[in-house]
Amino acid sequence: MATASRAPNDIYVLDEATKACLLAKEDESWLWHKRMSHINFDNLVRISKKEALREMLKISKTSNILCEACLHSKHTKCGFKTKEHFASHPLELIHTNLCGPMGTKGLDGELYFMLMIDDYTRMTAVSFLKKKSEAF
């Protein structure tokens, strides 16, 4: 923590009495890990040794710790809940989606479309609508 006064051009100047300012500085290897789309640390060490990047410092250690983003990406798939409601015969359950208004009108001036899918047969139908109120 430090105190600062604001200059007229909205710049904050640290008081001279504050001799040390502690900042949370991230380890250089973790910073490059994030910059390079969460690359594996072994590959990061190889790139560092080849001096393939100008401003990259020497990274010699590999890390066994995974960052939170890497943990999520390596997570195994979780199962979804099974359907609570499912149809036992055609037209018992129909899923609909009303989309629009579209940027381009249809041949007869339609701005909307409604997609209908029968849950039992998976038969699909599309209706083109000029007004949203036509969906009913």
Based on the number of CB atoms within 10 Å of its own CB, is 81 exposed (0-12), middle (13-18) or buried (19 or more)? exposed
In this structure, are 45 and 72 located in the same domain?
Answer: yes
Task: Please give the tally of structural domains in the chain.
Answer: 2
Task: Give the per-residue pLDDT at 91.
Answer: 92
Range of the structural domain that residue 45 is part of: 25-78
For the stretch 66-121, pLDDT in tens is: 788 887 777 777 777 776 777 889 999 999 999 989 999 989 999 999 999 999 99
Query: What pairing do the DSSP bridges indicate for beta strands 124-129 and 112-118?
Result: antiparallel
Which one, of 79, 46, 50, 83, lies nearest residue 62 by Cα?
46
Task: Give the per-residue pLDDT at 23.
Answer: 47
Mean pLDDT of the residues in the chain: 79
In this structure, are 34 and 64 located in the same domain?
Answer: yes
Q: Using CA atoms, how far apart are residues 40 and 53, in angstroms rounded to an integer? A: 16
Does the model's pTM come out above 0.85? no
